[in-house]
Structure 1
Amino acid sequence: MDCLTIPATGRTPGVSFDFANGHLRMTGESYPDDVAAFFGPVFEALRSFLDDPDGGPIRFDMELLYFNSSSAKALMNIFQMLETVAKGGRSVTLTWCVEENDESMRELGEDFAEDLRHVVFQMREMPAGGPP
């Protein structure tokens, strides 16, 4: 398993999971019409990747500018999967990227971080308009 790439649309995030290098990334906005249909393949690929007992460190860059409550539940499921493997001893770093002055996304990141005990959580500020 090398990569899972899903291009961003107006309603769904871009997904770039480079499994070979342990670099996972989500970008854009997430408010799909059918959350289960969109995130189902993401969960399936991620589970397969995380089940590898010889897996190395994982770096997850979360660069979402907006997501709805249904997407928040899906993200929490992803974070819980990462927390489980981190608890088992695998190195996992989650970088929550927020645009400068976006206090609501910063607070959401802090809320998610409260549930993570074994995942290393980092907040990174981006200039308004997206990643540099």
Structure 2
Amino acid sequence: MVLVTTTAMPVVAKPVVLPGPQVDHYTAITSDEAGTLIGKLEDAQSRVKAGEDLTFELLFGAPASYPATKISPRQSFLAMSFGKPYAVERLPTTGLWQHYQLTYFPPEPDALMWKVDVTTGQLAELVRVEMLYTAPPPF
């Protein structure tokens, strides 16, 4: 009988960084439309950074006990990387406003998820951006 011993290396899960929007995670929206929407968000970030006066509403939330609540909506918006959403969904239209929801999973281990609800107006301009930092499903 031969006894072989090994020193097991701990298995460490590396964060998954998604290469970009996934086709199978689009709901009621094409990849081109999703790219246009993401472009609007990134353009708005650049313009806010440059000090331009923009009129869209910017809201941010997180559970009250999370440290993220100590950060202003503007800081959260400017720090967000909108380029690689996990999912993009076109939601039902209300009147002249079109609603979208983008979902992001940051690459950090044990990170929470971002749900970004975007409302565009009659001329496809940004009307409202709501960012929620929360636990992923099933919570």
Q: TM-score, normalised by structure 2?
A: 0.22
Instruction: Name the structure where helix makes up a greater proportion of residues.
Output: 1
Larger Rg: 2
Q: TM-score, normalised by structure 1?
A: 0.23
RCO comparison, higher one (Cα < 8 Å, 6+)? 2
